Chain A
Amino acid sequence: MKEFFRRRKTSFTTGGQPEGNPVPDDMWVKCNACRELVYKKELTDNLKVCPKCGHHMRMSAREWIDLLDGGSFSEMDAHLLPTDPLGFVSLGESYAEKLVKSQQRTGMPDALLSGVGMICGGRLALTVGDFAFMGSSMGSVYGEKLSRAAERAADMGIPLLTINTSGGARQQEGVIALMQMAKVTMALTRLADVGQPHIALMIDPCYGGVTASYPSVADVIIAEPGANIGFAGKRLIEQIMRQKLPAGFQTAEFMLEHGMIDMVVERNQLRDTIGRLIRLYGARRRPVTRRDPVEELIGAIPYM
């Protein structure tokens, strides 16, 4: 069994700057997909999509704010900070040290950025994960910020857009991290109760406990081209279950083909697509009535 979970040290790169290997003079960036050198300015103007091959490079949470209407973003819950609830006894770097390093690297207190803003003039609540912060793993702060975002969106009567990238639940917070999957799902029922949509955008990569909770039950699920999305990691499937995986396994296109997501949308089309969805959901003529009186009566009957 233990052989099963072994893997090479190089396997999980959470670190460094969001993708695009910086090449010395800082004017040029090498695309990880096609290996071509791209002029940095051109890349930025192209939303970090390689103009040569169309590869969607990773962006930091802060960079994703550009998806919103200019100047419309107000950050929320920035004052929530991670702690070490288990007093995690690590054999390597302590959890506290890892947190400090990630905070310095990303300028974020934890992996999730939350706030409210507008897309094409439509108001919405927004959360974005930052993969450079411990693989955007879901711990207490992630769960609390997302729950507050869902409840806030419900209170304000606006849609929620979650932009999701994650390695899964944060191991250093143990079952507390696992339970965030349920907590966030709970909070999102409040949004459903007021008839506001949850739109989930899945970006590269998205795995484990995040894939296995709130984004996978969103009203609309969008993914970026080529994004890796799945529950179990490919290495686990190949090395432990000893199964050969076809090319394109667990990509956004694979998820679309298997009926798990609604659409694959290129980065430069995201604003239009999300803006249109918000307008469509918002222009209903009838209010949402989820609970009918008969159902309430049934609730009063004692259980068997």
Chain B
Amino acid sequence: MDETTKLTEAQELTPWDRVQMARHPLRPHTLDYIAALCEDFVELHGDRRFGDDAAIVGGLATFAERTVMVIGHQKGSDTRENMKRNFGMSHPEGYRKAQRLMRQAEKFGISVICFVDTPAADPKKESEERGQGNAIAESILVMTNLRVPIIAAVIGEGGSGGALALSVADRILMQENAIFSVAPPEAAASILWHDSAKAPDAARALKLTARDLYELHIIDDVVPEPGGGAHQSPQEAITALGTRIRAHLDTISQIEIATLLNQRYQKYRVIGQYAEA
């Protein structure tokens, strides 16, 4: 975290304000980041098992003078695109496509960059039939011991297991107004207090803001956004995130893979708080 982040703290946005900003339809989405930060993007499609899920995009690209595998949830900016993208809620075939691309990245020694932006995993009947639980679990497993560096950047909503499935990484970055939550605040309010209208209270209680999660040692970096949020000046937001991703990638690319895997293990192994009687 740098000075810019600390300065904006003075604005006193509530967690619920940030939820709204994280969900803003004009906020840049994964393909905007790829278009602006990468060259030669070649999108790869399909899970080779069932279909191609437009809610997750991925492929090869050049970023910071090297080939990377970029993968991300893709939301739409309007209703039509959101119907196509299922509002960024991935189906099992989306996670399985991501797994395929990650394994391929491992095969060719290519680093992985994930953009996280999803309200939640798709909760429809068909997704259950095709094993949504298994798909997310497999993604987590693939990322736990993938033998290439992984960076995850939360650029909007990091919603529950659907977000975790693209964010088990060596470094987790969050934009200042992005959120990362165990469940969408509406769902949490419903589970906890049987009233989804209490979502703003849930947003506060869940500690879902970037700064909260930095203080809880869950994420590694909070990336500042332009005043008023990323949607006010997308180019500025994209450049700021790109600079940080590059810096982290340069750092972890220097680490020998066995060491990196050990560090990844330890990074997750120590998450949790308990007392010992």
Please report which residues of chain B, range 199-238, place their CB below 8 angstroms from some CB of chain A when the two chains form the complex: 199, 201, 204-208, 213, 216, 218
**A237 at the binding interface (Cβ < 8 Å):** yes
Nearest Cβ on chain A to B144's Cβ, whole angstroms: 5
Residues of A within 8 A of B207 (CB): 86, 174-175
Contact B216 A171 (CB under 8 A): no
Contact A169 B196 (CB under 8 A): no
Partner of B273 from the list A6, A140, A181, A182 (CB cut-off 8 Å) is: A140
Chain-B contact segment, one of A46-54, A55-63, A66-74, A241-249: A241-249
Partner of A6 from the list B124, B134, B196 (CB cut-off 8 Å) is: B196
Q: Which residue of B lies closest to A140 (CB)?
A: B272
Q: Give the distance in Å from the alpha carbon of A88 to the alpha carbon of B189 in the complex.
A: 13
Residue-wise interface mask of A (172-199) relative to B, using a CB-CB cutoff of 8 A (1 in contact, 0 not)? 1111111111110111010000000000
**A214 at the binding interface (Cβ < 8 Å):** yes
Q: Classify chain B: how many residues form its interface, as a range.
A: 35 or more
Contact A260 B131 (CB under 8 A): yes
Residues of A within 8 A of B257 (CB): 299-300
**B118 at the binding interface (Cβ < 8 Å):** no
Q: Which residue of B lies closest to A145 (CB)?
A: B274
Q: Give the distance in Å from the alpha carbon of A164 to the alpha carbon of B117 in the complex.
A: 30
Nearest Cβ on chain A to B42's Cβ, whole angstroms: 15
**B276 at the binding interface (Cβ < 8 Å):** yes
Q: Give the distance in Å from the alpha carbon of A91 to the alpha carbon of B192 in the complex.
A: 9
Contact B140 A3 (CB under 8 A): no
Number of A residues contacting the other chain (C-beta, 8 Å)?
81
Please report which residues of chain A, range 69-128, place their CB below 8 angstroms from some CB of chain B when the two chains form the complex: 79-83, 85-86, 88-92, 109
Contact B140 A299 (CB under 8 A): no
Residues of A within 8 A of B190 (CB): 5-7
Contact B197 A187 (CB under 8 A): no
Partner of B111 from the list A172, A217, A304 (CB cut-off 8 Å) is: A304
**B245 at the binding interface (Cβ < 8 Å):** no
Contact A230 B274 (CB under 8 A): no
Partner of A171 from the list B141, B182, B213, B268 (CB cut-off 8 Å) is: B182
Q: Give the distance in Å from the alpha carbon of A174 to the alpha carbon of B144 in the complex.
A: 21
Contact A5 B186 (CB under 8 A): yes
Contact B137 A169 (CB under 8 A): no
Given contacts A171-B183, A175-B216, contact A240 B123 (CB under 8 A): yes
Nearest Cβ on chain B to A101's Cβ, whole angstroms: 15
Contact B133 A176 (CB under 8 A): no
Given contacts A175-B182, A303-B66, contact A82 B274 (CB under 8 A): yes
Q: Give the distance in Å from the alpha carbon of A217 to the alpha carbon of B96 in the complex.
A: 14
Contact A147 B218 (CB under 8 A): no
Q: Give the distance in Å from the alpha carbon of A144 to the alpha carbon of B268 in the complex.
A: 11
Q: Which residue of A lies closest to B107 (CB)?
A: A298
Max count, chain B CB within 10 A of own CB: residue among A232, A295, A298: A232
Partner of B196 from the list A4, A91, A302 (CB cut-off 8 Å) is: A4
Max count, chain A CB within 10 A of own CB: residue among B67, B271, B275: B271
Contact A174 B182 (CB under 8 A): yes
**B148 at the binding interface (Cβ < 8 Å):** yes
Q: Give the distance in Å from the alpha carbon of A104 to the alpha carbon of B104 in the complex.
A: 51
Contact B256 A299 (CB under 8 A): yes
Please report which residues of chain A, range 1-40, place their CB below 8 angstroms from some CB of chain B when the two chains form the complex: 1-9, 12
Contact B125 A298 (CB under 8 A): no
Given contacts A79-B277, A182-B168, contact A144 B272 (CB under 8 A): yes
Residues of A within 8 A of B168 (CB): 182, 185
Contact A174 B208 (CB under 8 A): yes
Partner of A208 from the list B161, B198, B204 (CB cut-off 8 Å) is: B161
Q: Which residue of B lies closest to A81 (CB)?
A: B275
**B98 at the binding interface (Cβ < 8 Å):** no
Q: Give the distance in Å from the alpha carbon of A173 to the alpha carbon of B218 in the complex.
A: 12
Residues of A within 8 A of B141 (CB): 185, 189, 217
**B40 at the binding interface (Cβ < 8 Å):** no
Residues of A within 8 A of B138 (CB): 216-217
Q: Give the distance in Å from the alpha carbon of A2 to the alpha carbon of B201 in the complex.
A: 13
Given contacts A181-B164, A212-B133, contact A187 B269 (CB under 8 A): yes
**A231 at the binding interface (Cβ < 8 Å):** yes
Contact A237 B124 (CB under 8 A): yes
**B128 at the binding interface (Cβ < 8 Å):** yes
A-B contact sample (5 more), CB < 8 A, given A178-B161, A179-B271, A183-B269:
A2-B199, A171-B192, A175-B207, A179-B272, A301-B109
24 inter-chain pairs at a CB distance below 8 angstroms, sorted by A residue, are A1-B186, A2-B196, A81-B276, A83-B275, A90-B192, A140-B273, A140-B274, A141-B274, A175-B207, A179-B271, A185-B141, A185-B144, A187-B269, A189-B265, A209-B160, A213-B140, A230-B128, A231-B133, A232-B128, A236-B123, A245-B125, A298-B147, A302-B253, A303-B111
Q: Closest 5 A-B residue pairs measured CB to CB?
A: A232-B123, A140-B272, A211-B133, A5-B196, A85-B273
Which residues of B are interface residues toward A (Cβ below 8 A)?
66-68, 108-111, 121, 123-125, 127-134, 136-138, 140-141, 143-145, 147-149, 160-161, 164-165, 168, 180-184, 186-199, 201, 204-208, 213, 216, 218, 253, 256-258, 264-265, 268-269, 271-277
Which residues of A are interface residues toward B (Cβ below 8 A)?
1-9, 12, 79-83, 85-86, 88-92, 109, 139-141, 143-144, 147, 169-183, 185-187, 189, 208-209, 211-217, 229-232, 236-237, 240-241, 243, 245, 249-250, 258-260, 295-296, 298-304
